[in-house]
């Protein structure tokens, strides 16, 4: 009997290799960062537009005239106190077409003793504003006409 030599080849030990790293985290970070930038840019544009509209309304004659009258009105001062300050927000609209236009505005004013809502309705013809309504309504429901001197 002959024996055949059994060859037991010696296998070299497997070298340690690190598992492949996934790029998923980098991709998600890139996509998320891109979306965040888009949201910030869009938000900035919208914010700029809103700020521009408020600035335009606050520089309009109906707003400035009504605020001036509210701040100098003795009856309103006696109810909400002095000084009278306007809030940052204005509701309503102003439509202008050359020397003609319309305005319908509401905004809050406040003093040390309370607050009121100013409402202005006016039309502009040939460059001159005419107000059909300009009053302040206090928290207790009292309406003070700001057109009366």
pLDDT band at 105 (very low <50, low <70, confident <90, very high): very high
35 — phi, psi (to 5°)? Answer: -65, -40
pTM value is: 0.66
Contacts of 127 (CB under 8 A, 6+ apart): 99
* CA distances from residue 47 to 11, 44, 119 in whole angstroms, order as listed: 69, 5, 25
CB 70 within 8 A of CB 76: yes
Q: pLDDT: is 49 or 63 the higher one?
A: 63
């Amino acid at each position: 009997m002959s024996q055949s030599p059994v060859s037991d080849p010696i296998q070299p030990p497997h070298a340690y290799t690190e598992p492949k790293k996934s790029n998923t985290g980098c991709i998600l970070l890139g996509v998320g960062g891109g979306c965040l930038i888009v949201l910030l840019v869009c938000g900035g544009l919208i914010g700029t537009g809103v700020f521009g509209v408020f600035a335009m309304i606050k520089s309009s004659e109906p707003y400035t005239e009504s605020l001036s009258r509210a701040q100098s009105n003795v009856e309103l001062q006696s109810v909400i106190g002095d000084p009278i300050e306007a809030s940052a927000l204005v509701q309503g609209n102003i439509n202008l077409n050359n020397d003609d236009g319309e305005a319908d505005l509401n905004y809050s004013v406040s003093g040390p003793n309370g607050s009121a809502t100013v409402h202005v309705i006016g039309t502009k013809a040939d460059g001159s504003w005419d107000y059909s309504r300009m009053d302040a309504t206090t928290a207790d429901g009292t309406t003070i006409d700001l057109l009366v001197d």
